[in-house]
Amino acid sequence: MKRYIALLRGVSPMNCRMPELKLCFEAAGFQDVRTLLSSGNVAFTARPAEVPVLERAAEQAMQAHWGRAFKTIVRPASFLQALVEAEPFAAFALPAEAKPIVAFLRRPYAGEALELPIRQAQAAILALAGTEVLAAYVPNAKAPAFMALLERRFGKEITTRTWDTVRKCAFA
């Protein structure tokens, strides 16, 4: 058995109850299911499988048992642990008030070459490594600008988490 983290796009306490979400993941056959932080993070144990298989199983279970599904991106917990231990944001001189985030892509980026960093309205795409995008933004009145910047480059099949949330999920 292997530990995984599912990161759901667009979940908030207003549109998703965590006990219901937990039941959906259990209905998919996953074990030791825990929801984290009321924002669409689900830790679970399953037999080792390819990530797309787990993503489909979670989405199908949500649809079947709940009547709706959120886009789901799955990562092995060990992958997130290694990411956290690598301290990737240490390579960047971020302002003290900056919020480091990771955007998770569903599949590796296959678009045109990017010249990084890309900066816009106190937001920056700093690095791209496979299916993870390191970014940061300074909270301000234009805070959603970082999502527009990310979606313009990588599409809408992404989900973002603050670095603090990534750390909490990695060891759940």
Please tell me the predicted confidence (pLDDT) of residue 16. 78
Closest CA to 58 of 35, 80, 29: 29
Please tell me the predicted confidence (pLDDT) of residue 52. 94
Please tell me the predicted confidence (pLDDT) of residue 97. 92
Q: What is the signed CA dihedral for 27, 29, 35, 36, rounded to 10 degrees?
A: -150
Please tell me the predicted confidence (pLDDT) of residue 144. 66
Please tell me the predicted confidence (pLDDT) of residue 142. 60
Per-residue pLDDT of the chain (172 residues; tens, 9 = 90+): 999 999 999 887 778 788 899 999 999 999 999 999 878 899 999 999 899 999 999 999 999 988 889 999 999 999 999 999 999 999 999 999 999 999 999 989 988 888 999 988 888 999 998 899 999 999 877 656 788 889 889 998 899 999 999 999 999 8
Please tell me the predicted confidence (pLDDT) of residue 120. 86
Closest CA to 5 of 41, 32, 30: 41
- Tell me the β-bridge partners of 44: 4
Q: What is the pTM of this model?
A: 0.92
d(CA 166, CA 104): 11
Please tell me the predicted confidence (pLDDT) of residue 4. 97
Contact 161, 104 (CB under 8 A): yes
